[in-house]
Amino acid sequence: MEYLNELNPPQRAAVTTVEGPLMIIAGAGSGKTRVLTYRIAYLVEQGVDPFQILALTFTNKAAREMKERISKVIGETDARSLWMGTFHSVFARILRAESDKLGFPSNFSIYDTDDAKSLLKTIINELGLDDKTYKASTIYNRISSAKNALVTASAYQKNEILKAEDDEALRPRTAEIYALYTGRCFKASAMDFDDLLLKTYELFLRYPEVLYKYQNRFQFLLVDEFQDTNFAQYSIVKQLAALYQNICVVGDDAQSIYAFRGANIQNILDFEQDYPDLKTFKLEQNYRSTQCIVEAANHIIANNRGQIPKTVWTQNEKGNKIKLYRALTDNEEGQFVASSIHETHLRDHTPHDQFAVLYRTNAQSRALEEALRKLNVPYRIYGGLSFYHRKEIKDLLAYIRVVINPADEEALKRIINYPARGIGKASLDKMFVSAADNDISLWEVIENLEALGLGLGTGIRTKIEEFRFMMMRFQGALMTANAYDLAAEIAQHSGLLQDLYSDKSPEGVSRYENVLELLNGIKEFADREENLPDGRPILPAFMEDVALLTDADESDDDTTPKVSLMTIHAAKGLEFQEVFVVGLEDSLFPNQQNMHSRAEMEEERRLFYVAITRAMKQLSISYSTTRYRYGSLMHSEASPFITELNQEHIEPIAARRAGGNAPDPFRRNISSSFSIPAHSRLRKVSETGTASASNNVSDYKVGMLVKHNRFGQGKIIGIDGPAGQKTATVLFKESGEKRLLLKFAKLDILGAGE
DNA sequence: CCAAAGATTGTCACA
DNA sequence: CAATCTTTGG
């Protein structure tokens, strides 16, 4: 335990306080990771079974790194039984194990943002709503905020405040869309990112015995980056900690930069209320940066109100001033950055991976890339259009998703006619209508194609059948075949590889290579995970990893030291000798959309604070007076954040325009009603259950009067089809003639007819 | 049904 | 300037 000597008094106290609620307020660069690592090691040395420790981190990478560091202290065997991961990945695992309680299969799909928006778009179109008023992304954000505040679809429908807001925004049917969306996800056996939190909370709320199991399983909880947890995450943590109260949270209110995702600094303040015998330790000594950088950062953050009082200080050297560069174009800004790095590298032999270029938006990376490439400076871009977001990759992944979970409608939609196999929009539309009419999944329509009729030509029907048999063959191989072999077989047999191969353009070739690369990745994953204890097939495990990947998680096998290019968000938790923060322009940083309220401005300022505090030795900031945005050249002014800096800390590199007057950013105060009070309770959910009308197929006779919950009253005018696929033709009063599969249609019998 | 050409629209950060 | 949607001609 000699490592305790490496710690300063508050750090040591944070490490050795084993039981009870504990909050560690960790200033930037104050050795937070070290404290977390040693704390876990200490727990284990005090006799806590590592199996009973759960550590929730912000990225998978952070979890991996911490695990590595811990295994050096306590040994690999113990370290391996620790549970560490992001909220989403840990809860996804729990949900798969307990999915039956929520009516989901354990192989449920995880919808990413694109899937969710695409589904919303479909729903909005089906309702015949104007997609300008009801933009999928707006609705998505609205639903996401609701879920992060633990408001289910049914609770949303009953909520007057939300209703009033939606009415005011001229989107009165948002609640209805939310309900339909939830139903469609359920039917597709899919959960979106927010569901992974909401449903975990629901699970624990509705099944106390399940909660009890996990409370005992995880007797010691650690939450990293606590300032970036949202209400749903905090609520689940509270559920888990309720029994033993051994909960340690670590965070820094000054570095909260995910309010847009529902993160809530309020959680820190609530924490003190929720756990009255809470112990709090503050880590205030910065070991990372020079005095100049620490002072500049403190000076900036002092402009924010309502912080947890703390004084970050350092014993490090004074250091150089912050370099400020004013460029005339974004390209010139890139040249400044690239040549600075180039020169420093030549002069001091600073390795390239000790430089980072940080920007507010991903779109800014291009000019920087070009400039670095010109000077042959190796670099690596994090985030942006990452590997797994490329079309060809998503296509192959969609095949695998359907093989794992045929109900996955978004994935199925993507591949049913790609590569082109003659199943066009018209046919698809008919199938969708039938799926909706019968309240079944698209895949079930495909399985019951004959019985449903649908008026499709024989040619089309054969094509759909061929597709179905191909997919069934893959599905049959899922449990037995080797993951790589199956994935390669899918890529080959689906025609995906041939389709890409036939495109000889440079982009086409690279797409082809990307798919091969993905197959390689699967092979590597399979080799690595081969001897995992649980006998579940590799491919689903791989898919889960991919679905919950963070931008910061992507690995790079090339070990050449490279300059890091990333957004400030992605840089959270990292440190570099020399940091360039670029694009400090009004309405870019702070960003246009975040300048309308004090709260938004403060979040942008915290973002700037995070950017500054990544630097150890040297910080440079820059802006440009013109910049290409939306494809045309725009004039820009210096960011107000530049004027907020103490001028003593700055050394201008080029003449800069005097005192850029920023427009007053504090005009209006837009508030959101999603800050739900902590005691608000989730309403019993009903949308996961099945509806009424469980008659037997044989009960229905021609001539009967029936009622359908969507089409209303009607009369059965014919029944046909083979056993097991009996189909009724019903003449509805309102909607006319429909063909419904009896085993799915929920038809209430109103009378025997004449 | 599909490819190519033309029109439109949006880009703030993320699991 | 992209990526995406819509139109058009085969």
Structure tokens at A402: 């359907």
pLDDT for A259: 85
The continuous run of DSSP H or E covering A402 comes out as helix A391-404
pLDDT for A384: 65
Q: Is A255 a catalytic residue?
A: yes
Contact between the CB of A516 and strand C at under 7 Å: no
Round and report the angstrom distance from CA (A139) to C1' (C3): 21
Round and report the angstrom distance from CA (A395) to C1' (B14): 22
State the helix-helix crossing angle for A231-241 and A136-148, rounded to 10 degrees. Answer: 30
Using DSSP's 3-state secondary structure scheme, residue A53 falls into: strand
Q: Check: CB of residue A232 under 8 Å from CB of residue A148.
A: yes
Looking at residue A282, its amino acid is K
**For A645-731, where are the alpha helices, taking DSSP H only?**
none
pLDDT for A654: 64
Contact between the CB of A309 and strand C at under 7 Å: no
Q: Is A602 a catalytic residue?
A: no
Q: Is A739 a catalytic residue?
A: no
Q: Is A86 a catalytic residue?
A: no
pLDDT for A632: 83
Structure tokens at A583: 């694009």
Using DSSP's 3-state secondary structure scheme, residue A306 falls into: coil
Q: How far is CA A663 from the centre of its chain?
A: 34
What residues in chain A have per-residue pLDDT under 70?
1, 384-385, 530-535, 551-552, 554-557, 654-696, 710, 722-724, 735, 753-754
Please state the pTM of the whole predicted model.
0.85
Q: A363: which nucleotide lies closest, measuring CA to C1'? A: B11
A5 CB neighbour count, 10 Å cutoff: 7
Q: Residue A577: CB partners within 8 Å, gap ≥ 6?
A: A350, A354, A355, A615, A616, A617, A618
Strand C neighbours among A 117-136, CB < 7 A: 121
